Amino acid sequence: MKIGLLRHFKVKAAYPEKFWMRGDEVEEWLDRYDECEDLEVVDLQVGDWDKCYSSPLYRALRTAENVFEGEIITLKELEEFKPRLSRNLKLPFFVWAMYCRFGLKKQKSKFAQKIREVLPLLTQGKVLVVSHYFVMQALERMLVAEGWKKAKEEQMTIYLKP
């Protein structure tokens, strides 16, 4: 068995110009980022796969369509983590970004549980998964915990079941 984890194409979205932002403003920017169709498309050679699962968000689905020729199965569980932020608190955008990446443990724990529920689907045969940063991190931890061996390739991470 083999699973390939591929992060979506880079989004060409400018960071917010405002330095100080409330949580609701950051959430609005994240929504625009999620809907952005301006991607840095690159030619990827990712090998031979039996199935491809993708997040339904545009950037992941477009990446999957670019690298996989068969049917692409979208799973809502592979969508990017959506933080709920304090609407009244004002912080610099980079602080919000760090908070989203390293904080929010309770929200991330619930999110990881949803990913864990679809893990059996993703580990049957030769499967390519196209998704987002936090999803990839959660999947990597789960696969390693189940004994999968990591084999880093140039454009993606591959896990093999011994």
Contact (Cβ atoms closer than 8 angstroms) between residue 132 and residue 7 = yes
Residue 75: which CATH number?
A: 3.40.50
Report the SS3 class of residue 1.
Answer: coil
- Domain span at residue 75 reads 2-160
User: Is residue 52 over pLDDT 90?
Assistant: yes
Contact (Cβ atoms closer than 8 angstroms) between residue 30 and residue 82 = yes
**Predicted TM-score of the model (pTM):** 0.84
Please report the DSSP string for 9-41 in residue order. PEE--PPPS-SEEEHHHHHHHHHHHHH---EE-
User: Nearest-CA neighbor of 155 among 135, 128, 119?
Assistant: 128
Helix pair 93-102, 23-35: axis angle to 10 deg: 80
- What whole-number distance in Å separates Cα of residue 50 and Cα of residue 43? 20
| Side chain identity, residue 21 | M
Q: pLDDT value at position 92?
A: 95
Instruction: Tell me how far CA of residue 130 lies from CA of 27, 28, 51, 64, 105, in angstroms.
Output: 23, 24, 11, 6, 24
**Mean pLDDT in the chain?**
86
Domain count, the chain: 1
Q: What is the pLDDT of residues 54-64, one digit of tens each?
A: 999 998 999 99
Q: What is the pLDDT of residues 98-118, one digit of tens each?
A: 888 777 677 778 888 889 999
